[in-house]
């Protein structure tokens, strides 16, 4: 299916959906308007009927009023009046069969709350509302109106709108199709035709028609497509010109091959010299091997002695570490003794302070005792003299008693202080004992340190013996090294000569390898490039005449038929 047809179908579906939505909304609003109209009619009739009530009418009088309304032909389907007693029922109605039937409970409850209830049953609008007399609800009225004509008119109007909309839809789609065909289908058809030609490899098509001045997306796409094709032609022309350079690369390959052959010859000569020198070096190496054997034996003995030295050194290190730890422990012990001595001094000082406090308390007790005796004596004398008036001295006697109690309390404090002094004394004894024990431990630790350092001395002597053995072995190795030196000298001379030849051969080999690698890379690159160029150029059919410059054609003000 073409793009234009898809666009028209989507637009048609959108317009149809919008039309249906509008019709649905219009029908809903028309239905609401019809219901509202029926409700307004019912309210007018009920208000007119309500204005004639006095609240004392009998059921017969109410029925007579309804009969008058029925004869007036106000398009009322039914009019019922319900009582509000314990069992609400219809007491008057335009339909005699409805009289005596119970009222709907929801309608009665709504009337008691002074609310109006509106219901729609098919085409009938039922309005139930309270009737008032002197501001009080006396009855409940239910009026029914037929709104079938209004609803039918709404449906007819909706049908009319749908028909008109369909006619307009056809016209709009026709105009829309013409516009799409003019501004989209034709330009896209041109793109499709040129794209198919280019996809087939034919670049001879006249694409100047795409170089237009349209300002919309189609115009931008046209100019971009034109520029793309022009650049493609230009690129292919450059590729065809580049093919001539392959011949130059082939000449370079031939020169590189000649250089490579000459280099290979030089390598062969150098390798011959290296072979001769290698024979001489082999004889020298045999002589050197004997000396190397002796050196190996000496080295083996040195290795064994070195291992012994290593073990002895490790053991010495461990013993030294142990001695360090022991000395550290001794230091800690001594520090603890110092701290303990300090604590002992502090305890003794506190004992001295407590003793001073005891002296003060004892002195206070003595003073209180003296005052107590004086007060007691004075109280007795004054009480005897005063007689009946001597009751005041009883208070003094009471104070004397309190002072005596304070004296007892002070005595208790003195006793507690004495016990505290005893406890502190015991603590001093304990601290002194602990200090003695720690001193003994420190002595033991120091003794261990002495033994450890003695062991270290023995290990050091062993190390010295091993060093003597190593020295003797080194002397033997030095005597053998003289013979090795002479042999190595001969090897060195030959090695220098061989080194020069080998360096020359290495350089020649490197040049040869580099030249050969360049030749191979160039050959592979040229072969692959030639194949790719042939494949690419063969896919397209280029016209002999070069394409016009797009920079000059873009400024043209004439719009081609494609737009």
pLDDT in tens, 361-372: 767 776 776 677
Q: In this structure, are 253 and 175 located in the same domain?
A: no
Q: Measure the CA–CA gap between 403 and 296, rounded to whole angstroms.
A: 109
Answer with the one of 158, 179, 200 that is the final residue of a domain.
179
| Stronger pLDDT, 61 or 309, i.e. the higher one | 61
Average pLDDT over residues 3-27: 79
Q: What is the pLDDT of residue 554?
A: 38
Tell whether the model's pLDDT for residue 167 goes beyond 80. Answer: yes
Q: How many CA atoms lie within 13 A of 290 on its CB side?
A: 8
Contact 357, 417 (CB under 8 A): yes
Q: What is the pLDDT of residue 446?
A: 60
Q: In this structure, are 137 and 267 located in the same domain?
A: no
Q: Classify residue 196: in a domain, yes or no.
A: no
Tell whether the model's pLDDT for residue 71 goes beyond 70. Answer: yes
Q: Measure the CA–CA gap between 354 and 322, rounded to whole angstroms.
A: 48
State pLDDT tens for residues 371-430.
776 776 677 677 677 766 666 666 676 677 677 667 767 767 776 777 677 677 667 667
Would you tell me how many other CB atoms lie within 10 Å of the CB of residue 54?
9
Contact 83, 141 (CB under 8 A): no
In this prediction, residue 555 has a pLDDT band, given cuts at 50, 70 and 90, of: very low
Q: Could you tell me the two tokens for 165?
A: 């909309």
- The CATH number assigned to the domain holding 115 equals 3.30.450.20
Q: Classify residue 411: in a domain, yes or no.
A: yes
Q: In this structure, are 355 and 489 located in the same domain?
A: yes
Q: In this structure, are 138 and 278 located in the same domain?
A: no
Q: What percent of the chain has pLDDT over 70?
A: 48
* Full 3-state SS string of 85-138: CCCCEEEEECCHHHCCCECCHHHHHHHHCCCCEEEEECCEEEEEEEEEECCEEE
Q: Look at the pTM and tell me if it is higher than 0.95.
A: no
Backbone angles phi, psi at 410, to 5 degrees: -65, -35
Q: In this structure, are 128 and 257 located in the same domain?
A: no
Q: In this structure, are 156 and 287 located in the same domain?
A: no
In this prediction, residue 521 has a pLDDT band, given cuts at 50, 70 and 90, of: confident
Q: Which residues, at least 6 apart from 92, have a Cβ–Cβ distance to it below 8 Å? A: 59, 62, 63, 65, 66, 80, 81, 99
Q: Classify residue 116: in a domain, yes or no.
A: yes
Average pLDDT over residues 81-106: 84
If one counts the domains in the chain, the total is 2
Average pLDDT over residues 553-557: 38
Q: In this structure, are 170 and 262 located in the same domain?
A: no
Q: Classify residue 517: in a domain, yes or no.
A: yes
Which span out of 45-49, 114-118, 328-332, 461-465 was modeled with the highest average pLDDT? 114-118
Domain housing 160: 3-179
Q: In this structure, are 293 and 425 located in the same domain?
A: yes
Q: In this structure, are 311 and 436 located in the same domain?
A: yes
Q: Classify residue 156: in a domain, yes or no.
A: yes
Answer with the one of 138, 163, 179 that is the final residue of a domain.
179
| Nearest residue to 491 via CA among 183, 207, 271, 277 | 277
Q: Classify residue 30: in a domain, yes or no.
A: yes
Q: Classify residue 239: in a domain, yes or no.
A: no
Q: 524 burial class (0-12, 13-18, 19+ CB within 10 angstroms)?
A: exposed
Q: Classify residue 203: in a domain, yes or no.
A: no
| Stronger pLDDT, 186 or 344, i.e. the higher one | 186
The separation between the first and the last C-alpha atoms of the chain, rounded to the nearest angstrom, is: 22
- The CATH number assigned to the domain holding 508 equals 1.10.287
State pLDDT tens for residues 130-164.
887 777 777 888 888 777 777 788 788 888 888 88
């Amino acid at each position: 299916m073409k793009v234009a047809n898809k666009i028209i179908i989507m637009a048609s579906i959108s317009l149809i959906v919008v039309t249906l939505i509008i019709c649905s909304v219009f029908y809903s609003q028309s239905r609401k308007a019809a219901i509202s109209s029926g409700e307004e009619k019912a309210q007018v009739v009920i208000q007119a009927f309500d204005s004639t009530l006095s609240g004392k009418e009998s059921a017969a009088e109410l029925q007579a009023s309804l009969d008058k309304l029925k004869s007036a032909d106000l398009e009322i389907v039914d009019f019922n009046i319900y009582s509000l007693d314990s069992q609400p029922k219809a007491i008057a109605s335009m339909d005699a069969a409805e009289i005596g039937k119970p009222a709907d409970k929801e309608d009665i409850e709504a009337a008691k709350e002074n609310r109006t209830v509106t219901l729609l049953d098919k085409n009938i609008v039922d309005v139930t509302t309270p009737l008032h007399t002197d501001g009080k609800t006396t009855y409940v009225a239910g009026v029914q109106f037929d709104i079938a004509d209004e609803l039918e008119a709404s449906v007819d109007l909706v049908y009319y709108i749908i028909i008109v909309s369909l006619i307009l839809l056809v016209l709009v789609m026709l105009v829309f199709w013409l516009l799409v065909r003019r501004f989209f289908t034709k330009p896209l058809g041109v793109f499709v035709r040129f794209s198919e030609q280019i996809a087939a490899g034919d670049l001879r098509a006249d694409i100047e028609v795409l170089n237009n001045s349209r300002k919309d997306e189609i115009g931008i796409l046209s100019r971009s497509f034109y520029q793309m094709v022009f650049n493609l032609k230009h690129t292919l022309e450059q590729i065809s010109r580049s093919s001539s350079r392959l011949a130059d690369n082939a000449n370079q390959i031939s020169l590189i091959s000649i250089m490579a052959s000459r280099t290979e010859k030089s390598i062969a000569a150098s390798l011959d010299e290296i072979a001769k020198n290698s024979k001489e070096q082999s004889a020298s190496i045999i002589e050197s091997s004997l000396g190397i054997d002796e050196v190996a034996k000496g080295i083996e003995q040195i290795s064994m002695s070195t291992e012994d030295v290593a073990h002895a050194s490790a053991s010495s290190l461990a013993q030294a570490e142990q001695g360090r730890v022991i000395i550290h422990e001794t230091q800690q012990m001594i520090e603890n003794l110092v701290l303990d001595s300090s604590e002992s001094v502090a305890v003794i000082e506190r004992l001295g302070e407590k003793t001073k406090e005891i002296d003060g308390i004892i002195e206070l007790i003595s003073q209180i005792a003296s005052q107590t005796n004086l007060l007691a004596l004075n109280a007795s004398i004054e009480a005897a003299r005063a007689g009946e008036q001597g009751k005041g001295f009883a208070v003094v006697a009471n104070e004397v008693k309190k002072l005596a109690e304070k004296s007892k309390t002070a005595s208790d404090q003195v006793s507690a202080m004495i016990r505290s002094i005893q406890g502190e004394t015991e603590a001093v004894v304990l601290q002194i004992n602990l200090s003695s024990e720690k001193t003994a431990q420190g002595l033991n630790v120091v003794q261990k340190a002495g033994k450890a350092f003695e062991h270290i001395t023995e290990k050091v002597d062993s190390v010295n013996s091993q060093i003597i053995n190593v020295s003797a072995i080194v002397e033997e190795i030095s005597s053998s090294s003289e013979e090795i030196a002479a042999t190595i000298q001969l090897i060195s001379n030959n090695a220098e000569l061989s080194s020069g030849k080998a360096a020359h051969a290495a350089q020649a080999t490197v040049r040869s390898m580099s030249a050969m690698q360049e030749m191979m890379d160039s050959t592979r690159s040229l072969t692959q490039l030639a194949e790719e160029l042939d494949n690419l150029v063969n896919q397209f059919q280029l016209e002999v005449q070069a394409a016009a410059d797009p920079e000059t054609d873009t400024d043209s003000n004439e719009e081609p038929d494609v737009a």
